[in-house]
Amino acid sequence: MNRPVLELRNISKTFPGVKALDSVELQLYPGQVTALIGENGAGKSTLVKVLTGIYAPDGGEILIDDAPVTMQAATDAKRHGISAIHQEAVMFDELTVTENIFINNQNRNIFGLLDWKLMRKRAKTLLEYLDVNVDPNIPLRELSVAHKHLVSFAAALSVSSSIVIMDEPTASLSHHEIQELYRLVRRLRDEGKAILFISHKFDEIFEICDRYTVFRDGQFVGSGGIADVTQDDLVAMMVGRTVSQIYPKEQTTIGDTVMSVKGLSHPSEFADIDFDLRKGEILGFYGLVGAGRSEVMQALFGLTPTSSGSMELNGKPFKPRTPGDAVDQGLVYVPEDRQHQGAILTLPIFQNITLPQLGGLSRSGFIDMAREYDVAREYATRLQLKASSLSENVENLSGGNQQKVVIGKWLATNPNVIIVDEPTKGIDIGSKAAVHKFMGELVAQGLSVIMVSSELPEVMGMADRVIVMHEGRIAARFERDDMTAEAIVTAATGA
């Protein structure tokens, strides 16, 4: 085998409370596609950020062509011939496609001014190479999610690089677009580029990767040739445990319909949403990022107005105009983005927990602090919140404990239906288990839970039924017994 073009040795990166990378290693070889495999939270995205100069590692060495290099900023990565397609949309909606592609890699004319004519031409060529039919002169915000993604590919390819990193490149692509992507990856590979392909879809890994590296909980587990392993081997390396152990799904008796939604539509975000929710069940909503799941949930919670459709809650018509209406009728929403939508970080824990029911805790306009504390203490205990005191500000808590505060805040209103949007996104494994266990307890007590999640194992492990959304519509429904990972993913990608 030839020598690696890029080699990482003992790379570590620690964030407050989390060891994101713990002495990991990685080799990339020219003309080969290396898969980086691991569960969410295994450290893949952190590694990408280290490789692209967004994060500086705490320790370890990065070698390019056997020479140690330092990465201080994104420009260093570019200088060393590393280009990356990031998982998150790190693009500029207000700029045009051409401006996005050449944001840090412009052509100049003889006066030293930007040569937009040449760049537009190059953008067109790049987009044609990628087989994307978009006008390079329109603002990025007018493109679909998939097209935006392809524009970010064009941006990565506009730089001449020897190493290309793709962080879950197929996440928002349709089946046809994925085939196009494979062709592109093979072409880049045949041009001699070293490709790091991050994915947790095994079919992709076996289809186009030559080598694999597995991380688990921030640690290097193993690497080798893809031809020498089976899917079961990789799964064993990734999880180190089986799915039923991770998800403490409790058997519950499912009762009558609590909520029913018929033909719910929105002018631009979703259409024809029909479903029933029964007492004591967890209903999973799966879909790709941007499929419209959160928008539907916001409509149920009275945050987004709908254009048509009807809803019933506890047998009564349910038409929330504000979140306050929804809470009064027993439906609460734990949003995805804790920091922005869920908790008020600069307020103490107890005030966060009692925020939705201050009216009930007040006497002639003054808040009864003692009762406020009692309520907060009760839910903090039920959720096993770890904090030095209930007067501590939420911003000082770990991600998992912040999530507990947000859930506790809504539970304290005694709802019948609780919607949790990506309940375990970005929190550590231990807190995840606590949140999952707690959801199991909630349904056992007779609550109904709608769980929006992009994590397939979580959906399959926790939900009694799963609704899959694609481009604002319901694409498929599955009962617990007949759901398979393949069927769910196929429905979600619209394939």
Choosing from 69, 116, 174, 367, the residue that interacts with another protein (CB under 8 A) is: 116
From the CB of 178, what's the least distance to another protein, in Å? 19
Question: Quick one: CA torsion of 321, 323, 325, 327, rounded to 10 degrees?
Answer: 160
Using CB under 8 A as the binding rule, whether residue 361 contacts another protein is answered as no
Q: Which helix (H) or strand (E) segment is 217 a member of?
A: none
Q: Any contact of residue 137 with another protein (CB under 8 A)?
A: no
Residue 272 CB, nearest approach to another protein (Å): 10
**How would DSSP label each residue in 422-472?**
STTTT--HHHHHHHHHHHHHHHHTT-EEEEE-S-HHHHHHH-SEEEEEETT
Q: Is 141 in the site for another protein (CB under 8 A)?
A: yes
Q: How far is the CB of 145 from another protein (least distance, A)?
A: 8
Alpha carbon separation from 131 to 95, 181, 197 (Å, rounded): 21, 10, 20
Share of the chain residues as helix, strand and coil, in percent rounded to the nearest 5: 35, 25, 35
Q: Is 148 helix (H, G, I), strand (E, B) or coil?
A: helix
DSSP reduced 3-state for 258:
strand
**Nearer to another protein (CB atom), residue 75 or residue 381:** 75
Q: How far is the CB of 270 from another protein (least distance, A)?
A: 7
**344 touches another protein by CB under 8 A:** no
Q: Does 472 bind another protein (CB under 8 A)?
A: yes
Q: Running DSSP on this structure, what letter comes out for residue 16? A: T
Rg, the chain, Cα only: 24
Among residues 43, 290, 320, 348, which is the contact residue for another protein, using CB under 8 A? 290
Binding to another protein (CB under 8 A) within 50-89 occurs at 52-54, 73-75, 77-78, 86, 89
Which residue number, 89 or 367, has a Cβ lying nearer to another protein?
Answer: 89
From the list 6-14, 100-108, 214-222, 456-464, the region that binds another protein by CB under 8 A is 100-108
| By CB under 8 A, residue 323 contacts another protein | no
Residue placing its CB nearer to another protein in the complex, 53 or 400: 53
**Residue 270 binds another protein (CB under 8 A):** yes
Instruction: Please state the closest distance from residue 395 (CB atom) to another protein, in A.
Output: 17
Q: Which residue in this structure is represented by tokens 């590692």? A: 57
67 or 113: CB nearest another protein: 113
254 makes contact with another protein (CB under 8 A): no
Q: With contacts defined by CB under 8 A, how many residues of the chain interact with another protein?
A: 38
Position 23, amino acid: S
25, 180, 269, 378: which one binds another protein (CB under 8 A): 269
92 binds another protein (CB under 8 A): yes
Closest CA to 51 of 65, 67, 62: 62
Quick check: 139 binds another protein (CB under 8 A)?
Answer: yes
CB of 98 to another protein, least distance (A): 10
Contact status: 99 vs another protein (CB under 8 A): yes
**DSSP H helical segments within 276-368, as ranges?**
293-300, 323-328, 349-354
Output 186 or 473, the one with its CB closest to another protein: 473
Q: b/e for 12-38, b at 16 or more Cβ within 10 A?
A: bbeeeebbbbbebebbbbbebbbbbbb
Site membership for another protein, residue 473 (CB under 8 A): yes
CB of 74 to another protein, least distance (A): 3
Whole-number Å distance between alpha carbons of 492 and 473: 10
295 binds another protein (CB under 8 A): yes
Q: Other CB atoms closer than 10 Å to residue 321's CB: what's the count? A: 9
Q: Is 336 in the site for another protein (CB under 8 A)?
A: no
Minimum distance from CB of 38 to another protein (Å)?
21
- CA dihedral (172, 176, 181, 182) in degrees, to 10, reads 120
Stretch that binds another protein, among 1-9, 18-26, 134-142, 404-412 (CB under 8 A): 134-142
Comparing C-alpha atoms, which of 89, 91, 93 is closest to residue 171?
89
- Give the whole-angstrom CA distance, residue 321 versus residue 327: 11
Token pair recorded at residue 489 = 């993913």
Contacts of residue 410, defined as CB under 8 A and 6 or more positions apart, other chains included, come to 332, 333, 334, 356, 418
Nearest approach, Cβ of residue 317 and another protein (Å): 25
196 binds another protein (CB under 8 A): no
118 contributes a contact to another protein by CB under 8 A: no
Half-sphere exposure of 157 (CA within 13 A, CB side): 22
Min dist CB 73 to another protein, Å, is 6
Residue among 17, 56, 104, 179 that touches another protein (CB under 8 A): 104
User: Interface with another protein includes 292 (CB under 8 A)?
Assistant: yes
Evaluate whether 311 touches 262 at the Cβ level (below 8 Å): yes
Cα–Cα distance measured from residue 34 to residue 30, given in angstroms and rounded to the nearest whole number:
10
In the complex, the residues that contact another protein under the rule CB under 8 A are 52-54, 73-75, 77-78, 86, 89-95, 99, 103-104, 106, 113-114, 116, 139, 141-142, 266, 268-271, 290-292, 295, 471-473
